Amino acid sequence: MDGLSIQNVTCQVFNAAVETPYEVHGILCNVEKDNWPMLTVPEVLDGESSTTICEVRDAIPAPLIEIRVGNVLLSDVQQTDSFYEISHTFTSIATVTKTNRDWNGKEMCCVRKCKADFGLKDVSVCKNISFRYVPTLYLNTTSPVVLHPNITVTVKCFVDDMNNLGQWNLWWENENSTEIEACIKAEECLLTLNYTGNGDKTYICNAWKSNELLRNSLTVSSSMTDEATTNPELVVPQQWHLVLYVVAGILLVYL
C-alpha cells in the first residue's frame, strides 16, 4: 500500500445473514516514510542562547523528534509540524534555544521516533559538540546604581572568556572617554563610586585583546531625594534642624 497514505479506505464485511455488507470507513495512515533527520548543532556559544535544530522532511505522518546530549533527553524541545497539500507530507522541525556549556565535547543526537508499532524504525543522527565561545563583558551590578551619602559602592567589571587565549586589558572611562581606572592584564577591574550629588553620570568598562574590543556601560545616580525617600534616617536630622531653628527663634523673640 505504499503511496496510498492519507487515502479513504473502506472495509466491507460479508455475512450470509445480512442482505448488504457492513462497511467501515477510515483513513489509511500506517504507511510511514520520511527523509533522514538533519541535525544542526551550535558552533558558537554566545551566552546561553545558541540554537540546536533537528529537521525531518517529507514525512508521513509527522514524526516525534527527540534530542539527546549523551544519555540525557532534553525536555525543552519545541517542535513544529508543517503540512504541504501538494505532496501530502509533513516537515517537522525541533529546536532547542538554550545551550549549556557543559555540552562541550559531548555527543548530541537527533532521534526520529515512530508513532506506530509498525513501519519505519527509530533513526538517530549524531554529531559531536565543539563550542567556540563568544567572550562577554559583565558587571557585578545592574544599571543604574543609586549612590547615597556616606556610602561607597565598588563595581567589578570582568570578562567571561572560556577560550582562554591570552589575558584582557581592562579599563574604566567616563562619559567623556577619559580613562579613570586601568587594570592592565587582569581578570577583573574594580571601580569605586562615591556620592557626589551631581546627578546622573555614565561610566564605561572596556576590555581589549587581540584586536577585539568589548564595552559595557553603567549609569550612576547621586540623588539626595531618592535617598531620603528610601532611608528615613536621613530625614530625621533635617527635621531636628528645623525644630532647633524654631526654638532658637522663639528664644530670640522672648529675649
Helix (H) or strand (E) holding 166: none
Of 194, 74, 218, the closest CA to residue 137 belongs to: 218
* Interval 185-210: pLDDT, tens: 888 999 999 988 888 899 999 999 88
Helix (H, G, I), strand (E, B) or coil at 233: helix
Average pLDDT on 43-62 reads 82
| 28: phi then psi, degrees, rounded to nearest 5 | -75, 120
The average confidence (pLDDT) of the chain is 82
| 78: nearest Cα among 66, 70, 68 | 66
pLDDT of residue 132: 76
Q: What distance in Å separates the CA atoms of residue 54 and residue 39, rounded to the nearest whole number? A: 4
**For residue range 232-248, what is the model confidence (pLDDT) as tens digits?**
443 334 444 444 455 56
Is the domain defined by 136-222 classed in CATH 2.60.40.10?
A: yes
Residue type, 231: N
pLDDT tier for residue 224 given thresholds of 50, 70 and 90: low
Place of cell 545616580: 221
Q: Which CATH architecture has domain 35-132?
A: Sandwich (2.60)
pLDDT at position 49 is 66
How far is residue 163's CA from residue 132's CA, in Å, rounded to a whole number? 7
Q: How far apart are CA 48 and CA 119, in angstroms?
A: 38
* Confidence category of residue 14, pLDDT binned at 50, 70, 90: confident
Confidence (pTM): 0.52
Report pLDDT for 255. Answer: 64
Torsion angles phi and psi, residue 152, rounded to 5: -110, 135
* Per-residue pLDDT tens over the stretch 68-109: 999 999 999 999 999 998 888 899 999 998 888 888 889 999
First to last CA, the chain: 116
Higher pLDDT: 3 or 181? It is 181
Q: What is the pLDDT of residue 70?
A: 92
Query: Does residue 97 contact residue 51 with C-beta atoms inside 8 Å?
Result: yes
For residue 179, the model assigns a pLDDT of 95
pLDDT in tens, 113-151: 876 555 567 889 999 988 777 788 999 998 899 998 888
Check residue 120 and give its pLDDT: 61
Start-end of CATH 2.60.40.10 domains in the chain: 35-132, 136-222
pLDDT of residue 229: 44
